[in-house]
Homo-oligomer: A and B are copies of this chain.
Amino acid sequence: MDLTPVRGCRDFLPEKKIARDAVIEKLRRVFEAYGFNPLETPALENFEVLSSKYAGGDEILKETYKLTDQGKRDLGLRYDLTVPLCRVVASNPRMTLPFKRYQIASVWRDGPIKAGRYREFVQCDVDTIGAKGMIADAELIALTQDAFDSLGMKTFIKINNRKLLDALLLKAGVPSAKQPDAILSLDKLAKIGKEGVRAELFERGVEAKSAEEILAMFDSFAKKGNDEIIDKLASIVGAEDAGLKELRDVMQYCAAFGVREDFVAADPSLARGLSYYTGTVFEAFLTEGAITSSIAAGGRYDKLVGAFAGRGEDMPAVGISFGLDVIGEALADGTKEKKTVVRAFVIPIKTGAAAAKAAQELRRMGVPTAIDLNDRGVSRCLEYAAKEGIPYAVLVGEAELKQKSVKLRDMASGKEELLSVAEAAARIKSTFCSR
């Protein structure tokens, strides 16, 4: 029998899972600090919902795990958390707005497996539904800065606006009908380079002159500061362009929220692949290191929820998604993995009941504690504690009990002290932050 995990899926043993949970806990704290509430939706969705023309599109549908239940219903595993969110909002028309929610959960895509790409992976999504002003977009950028700060990661965020990008394309002579196609190509600029984009634009029927003009425009923005870029954009599309105005608004609100100036980089070439974005788009990156792919990304999608609801009207929506795997990968270099949550290992020396009692006292005082379950001798117990990376051993023997004490052994230094259980608990707790 093949005991490896399903292709593209992973087991996370404690040493990986502890680090993963710590990242999730930090993200949750920031998400909740910003007033976002948790939401849970099923892993299974009706295939009709996943394949709605307003949803993820053909590319993603090809990678969707499809199945049928015993009642012959067509189901699929969700490929993102945005479609379920739209379904929930569309099916709850009496919901109080704005609805600010976060969801941290697995999604599945049966796609090619590359470095850093898996078939089951966790997304951490934060979305505001029902707020049309750019303050909502800026709030998410402030949240993103705080989230990465809390993880100790040096990052910045590129922002752009789809309306502005459309206006630029129009200026370059790309007609409206060709703009969604052109955006899909431009989204790959970082990945396939100018030559690649030029070729793709040509294939998609964008005139060579227009393609050159766009690429030249993008070149002219490179390495410019935000103010310069905004001025330049105003000179191309006019200061009153709706998209440019939104971009300026977002940046103003970012300043109000105390976002660092160097955290935000206006980038008129930023496209984002998904077709459902309607305004602001953003994508966060590490400022240094080997990982060049984005570590969080999102934008405004004012038409998606309304489309799901089958009602004509727009429902303002803006969101960002954090990639847990890429964050974990970025952090893995810097942080020491913890093999265990256990802080104390109780070793009974012919004192079964008394040792069990000491373990229970430590647990009640908030020290994650294990006790020898295998009736091993002291030295084999110490070996186990060392191997597991447990920082303290607590020896409970007759001699210690006579003094109403236990022997606390610092596993790193080997130093031993005779202490009461309460003193031992206090000592151990002083060395770690309880959750």
Does A367 sit at the interface, judged by CB under 8 A? yes
Interface residues of A in 97-137 (CB under 8 A from B): 97-98, 100-101, 106, 108, 110, 119-120, 128, 130-133, 135-136
Would B35 and A368 count as touching, CB distance under 8 A? yes
Q: Which residues of B contact A77 (CB under 8 A)?
A: 43
How close is A107's CB to chain B, nearest CB, in angstroms? Answer: 10
Cα–Cα, bound, A52→B345 (Å): 36
Would A370 and B35 count as touching, CB distance under 8 A? yes
Would B368 and A33 count as touching, CB distance under 8 A? yes
Would A69 and B370 count as touching, CB distance under 8 A? no
**Given contact pairs A35-B369, A369-B34, A356 touches B256 in the complex (Cβ within 8 A):** yes
Would B42 and A10 count as touching, CB distance under 8 A? yes
**Given contact pairs A14-B39, A133-B374, A1 touches B310 in the complex (Cβ within 8 A):** yes
Cα–Cα, bound, A3→B91 (Å): 6
Does A148 sit at the interface, judged by CB under 8 A? no
Q: Which residues of B contact A363 (CB under 8 A)?
A: 33-34, 146
Does A164 sit at the interface, judged by CB under 8 A? no
CB contact between A7 and one of B73, B131, B136 (< 8 Å): that residue: B73
Does A342 sit at the interface, judged by CB under 8 A? yes
CB contact between A1 and one of B13, B41, B44, B48 (< 8 Å): that residue: B48
Cα–Cα, bound, A3→B93 (Å): 12
Cα–Cα, bound, A285→B32 (Å): 34
Interface residues of A in 340-381 (CB under 8 A from B): 340-342, 345, 352-353, 356-357, 359-360, 363-364, 366-371, 373-375
Does A79 sit at the interface, judged by CB under 8 A? no
Taken together, the copies of this chain in the complex come to 2
Would A1 and B308 count as touching, CB distance under 8 A? yes
Cα–Cα, bound, A353→B251 (Å): 12
Q: Which of A15-23, A204-212, A286-294, A412-420 contacts B (4 or more CB under 8 A)?
A: A15-23
**Given contact pairs A35-B370, A37-B17, A42 touches B120 in the complex (Cβ within 8 A):** yes
Would B356 and A253 count as touching, CB distance under 8 A? yes
Question: Can you spell out 10 A-B residue pairs with CB atoms less than 8 angstroms apart?
Answer: A6-B42, A7-B69, A11-B42, A14-B39, A32-B368, A35-B341, A44-B108, A128-B373, A132-B374, A257-B359
- A: residues with CB less than 8 A from B are 1-7, 9-14, 17-18, 20-21, 29, 32-46, 48-49, 52, 65-67, 69-71, 73, 75, 77, 84, 87-88, 90-92, 96-98, 100-101, 106, 108, 110, 119-120, 128, 130-133, 135-136, 139, 142, 146, 253, 255-258, 308-310, 340-342, 345, 352-353, 356-357, 359-360, 363-364, 366-371, 373-375, 384, 387-388, 435
Known: A6-B44, A35-B370, A67-B67. 6 other contacts (CB 8 A): A1-B48, A5-B45, A6-B73, A35-B371, A37-B342, A139-B373
